[in-house]
């Protein structure tokens, strides 16, 4: 896959996503090529999703966008608020619900306006590094 262009990879990933979620065929998928791989964000009806693939184009997980509100598990919200990052407003909050892993992904900007990403397991343990497939 090292010789595959981003356009070719994005097309390949879109086709794989359609087999996993046929409803996505009618959605506009925006691909973000990151250090960890490829994130495709899209909406179906009122629900927004982000599907993650690794650098080789292997499916990792799908996340559902949620509001950062009173429905966030208390241990996750409390852990974030008590962390080094807790003074920053969460801009986007995603929930991972895979058979092998459950957790959360947060996006926020620091006081200088720099974007940051955090991952949390279901117990509220945060990391700046995305968990690998199979990590709980």
Handedness of CA 19, 23, 28, 30 (dihedral sign): negative
pLDDT at 3 over 60: no
Q: Which two tokens stand for residue 24?
A: 């996505």
Please state the rounded mean pLDDT for residues 110-129. Answer: 88
Q: For 30-72, how does the pLDDT look when each residue is reduced to its tens digit (9 = 90+)?
A: 998 888 889 999 999 999 999 999 999 999 999 999 999 999 9
Helix (H) or strand (E) holding 31: strand 30-33
Which among 52, 74, 75, 77 has a CA at the least distance from the CA of 63?
A: 52
Q: For 80-115, how does the pLDDT look when each residue is reduced to its tens digit (9 = 90+)?
A: 999 988 889 999 999 998 888 889 999 999 888 888
């Amino acid at each position: 896959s090292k010789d595959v262009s981003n356009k070719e990879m994005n097309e390949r990933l879109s086709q794989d996503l359609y087999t996993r979620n046929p409803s996505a065929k009618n959605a506009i998928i925006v691909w973000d090529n990151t250090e960890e791989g490829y994130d495709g964000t899209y909406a179906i009806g009122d629900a927004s999703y982000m599907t993650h693939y690794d650098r080789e184009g292997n499916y990792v997980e799908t996340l559902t966008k949620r509001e950062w509100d009173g429905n966030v598990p208390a241990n996750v919200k409390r852990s974030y608020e008590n962390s080094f990052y807790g003074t920053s407003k969460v801009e986007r909050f995603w929930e991972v619900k895979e058979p092998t892993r459950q957790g959360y992904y947060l996006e926020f900007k620091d006081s200088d306006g720099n974007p940051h990403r955090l991952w949390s397991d279901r117990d509220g343990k945060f990391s700046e590094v995305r968990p690998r497939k199979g990590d709980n």
